[in-house]
Amino acid sequence: MNIGKLTEVDIRDLWKHEQYDFSNWLGKEENIEMLGSLIGLTLTDVDKEVYVGSYRCDLVAKDETTGIKVIIENQLETSNHDHLGKIITYASGLDAKVVVWIVKEAREEHRSAIEWLNNNTNKELNFFLIELHAYKIGDSLAAPKFEIVEKPNGFIKNSKNIGGCGEMNKSESERIEFWTMFNETVIERGKPFNIRKATTDHWYDVAIGTSEAHICITLVNKESSIVVELYINDNKALFDKLYANKDKIEESLGFNLDWQRLNEKKASRIKYAIPGLNFDNHSNYAELMNAAIDKILAFREVFKSYI
> Which pLDDT tens digit goes with each residue over 139-149?
899 999 999 99
Which pLDDT score, from 0 to 100, does residue 23 have?
A: 92
d(CA 139, CA 4): 10
- Residues 157 and 126: beta-carbon distance below 8 Å: yes
pLDDT of residue 200: 84
Q: What is the pLDDT of residue 152?
A: 86
Q: Where in the chain is the domain with CATH 3.40.1350.10?
A: 6-152
CA distance 35 to 128: 11
CATH 3.30.1460 fits 170-304, yes or no: yes
Let me know: does 229 contact 253? Beta carbons within 8 Å. Answer: no
With contact defined as beta carbons under 8 Å apart, do 130 and 146 qualify?
yes
154 pLDDT band, cuts 50/70/90, is: low
Asked whether residue 108 carries a pLDDT value surpassing 50, the answer given is yes
pLDDT, residue 83, reads 95
Residue 162 above 50 pLDDT? no
What's the pLDDT at 111? 94
For the chain, give the mean pLDDT.
90
Q: What is the mean pLDDT of residues 102-123?
A: 93
Fold for the domain defined by 6-152 = Trna Endonuclease; Chain: A, domain 1 (3.40.1350)
Is the pLDDT at 300 greater than 60? The verdict is yes
Asked if residue 172 has pLDDT above 60, the reply is yes
Mean pLDDT of 30-49: 88
Q: For residue 133, count CB atoms less than 10 angstroms from its CB and return exposed for 0-12, middle for 13-18, buried for 19 or more.
A: middle
Q: How confident is the model at residue 158 (pLDDT cuts 50, 70, 90)?
A: very low
Contacts of 283 (CB under 8 A, 6+ apart): none
Which pLDDT band, with edges at 50, 70 and 90, does 171 fall under?
Answer: confident
Report the C-alpha gap between 296 and 10 in whole angstroms: 41
**pTM of structure:** 0.62
Q: What is the pLDDT of residue 18?
A: 78
- End-to-end CA, the chain: 50
Region 97-113: mean pLDDT is: 95
- Taking only Cα atoms into account, the Rg of the chain, rounded to an integer number of angstroms, comes to 21
Helix axes 236-244, 246-253, angle to 10 degrees: 70
Grade residue 157 by pLDDT with cuts at 50, 70 and 90: very low
Span(s) in the chain for CATH 3.30.1460: 170-304
